[in-house]
């Protein structure tokens, strides 16, 4: 089957420093892959190349077989690739439910109008509510978005990504900056999405126990290069990975 995402020789240099260096990988549909590596390995830069925030010096990004290397971020979102935690279209003064409903509405191509059919509106609202249940946020449906706790905002962003019919989710350290108490809830949300097996997930995460628990495969970046790619078991056994830096990752894990 055609991979949903493929990179070939993906490279970006900032001045003399090559932050991502000839990275070639394939991600099958409905797969859960984590990108790991020590600080400065190039993980976020790699995501920036996938989502279109950065343009590569060399190489290609294919999404469902189409070359998207030169598409801007909104065009990639429309194709079904979504990056969490950088969503700019959360309306802080609207309710949680309204935010998710608007995302569902934009995916459905229904323009906001006084004349919009009430039945369509109701259907979108039900869809939004179901997504809030899926991320364990339905109890906050009527809360104003700006009043949510940090972890709840992250759940809202995931619900909005799902509402946008995002086929490939790029999750960049979803637990960064959230309190220890909120981590299990975010983990449960991500596991719930994974278990439904209708999306492909690419995750950057420093919490190794979370990565090992969730991932079908791991890609290890080191100094911008792809050091190893394999199942969590293979990566844990990989002597190159161990000797190169795995101890360092555990040191980082919080």
Ligand X SMILES: Nc1ncnc2c1ncn2[C@@H]1O[C@H](COP(=O)(O)OP(=O)(O)OP(=O)(O)O)[C@@H](O)[C@H]1O
* Sites of contact with ligand X (CB under 6 A): 14, 17, 19, 37, 39-45
Measured distance CA(149)–CA(20) in Å, rounded: 34
Written as six digits, the tokens of 135 are: 């991320």
Distance in Å, CB of 223 to ligand X, minimum: 9
Nearer to ligand X, 165 or 225 (CB): 225
Distance in Å, CB of 241 to ligand X, minimum: 15
Nearer to ligand X, 14 or 91 (CB): 14
Distance in Å, CB of 13 to ligand X, minimum: 9
Written as six digits, the tokens of 239 are: 């002597």
Is 50 within 8 Å of 12 (Cβ atoms)? Answer: no
Written as six digits, the tokens of 139 are: 């109890």
Nearer to ligand X, 14 or 250 (CB): 14
Give Rg (Cα) of the chain: 19
Nearest to 26 by CA among 68, 78, 64: 64
Distance in Å, CB of 227 to ligand X, minimum: 12
Measured distance CA(217)–CA(229) in Å, rounded: 7
Nearer to ligand X, 85 or 136 (CB): 85
Nearer to ligand X, 42 or 174 (CB): 42
Distance in Å, CB of 204 to ligand X, minimum: 7
Distance in Å, CB of 185 to ligand X, minimum: 23
Nearest to 84 by CA among 6, 150, 152, 161: 161
Nearer to ligand X, 7 or 99 (CB): 7
* Measured distance between the N- and C-terminal CA atoms of the chain, rounded to whole angstroms: 37
Measured distance CA(9)–CA(63) in Å, rounded: 15
């Amino acid at each position: 089957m055609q991979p949903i995402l493929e990179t070939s020789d993906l490279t970006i240099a900032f001045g003399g420093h090559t932050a991502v260096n000839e990275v070639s990988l394939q991600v099958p549909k409905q797969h859960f892959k984590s990108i790991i590596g020590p600080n400065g390995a190039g993980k976020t830069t790699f995501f920036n190349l996938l989502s279109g925030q950065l343009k590569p010096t060399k190489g290609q990004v294919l999404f469902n077989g189409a070359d998207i290397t030169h598409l801007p971020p909104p065009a990639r979102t429309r194709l079904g690739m979504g990056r969490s935690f950088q969503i700019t279209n959360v309306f802080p003064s609207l309710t949680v439910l309204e935010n998710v409903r608007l995302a569902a509405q934009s995916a459905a191509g229904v323009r906001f109008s006084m004349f919009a059919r009430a039945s369509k509106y109701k259907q979108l609202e039900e869809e939004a509510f179901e997504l809030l249940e899926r991320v364990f946020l339905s109890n906050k449906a009527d809360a104003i978005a700006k009043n949510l706790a940090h972890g709840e905002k992250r759940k809202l962003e995931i619900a909005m990504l799902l509402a946008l019919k995002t086929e490939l989710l790029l999750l960049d350290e979803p637990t960064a900056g959230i309190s220890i108490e909120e981590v299990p809830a975010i983990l449960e949300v991500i596991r719930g999405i994974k278990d439904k097996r209708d999306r492909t997930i690419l995750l950057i995460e420093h919490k190794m126990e979370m990565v090992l628990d969730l991932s079908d495969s791991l890609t290890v970046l080191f100094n911008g290069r792809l050091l190893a790619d394999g199942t969590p078991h293979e990566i844990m056994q990989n002597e190159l990975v161990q000797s190169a830096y795995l101890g360092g990752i555990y040191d980082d894990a919080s």
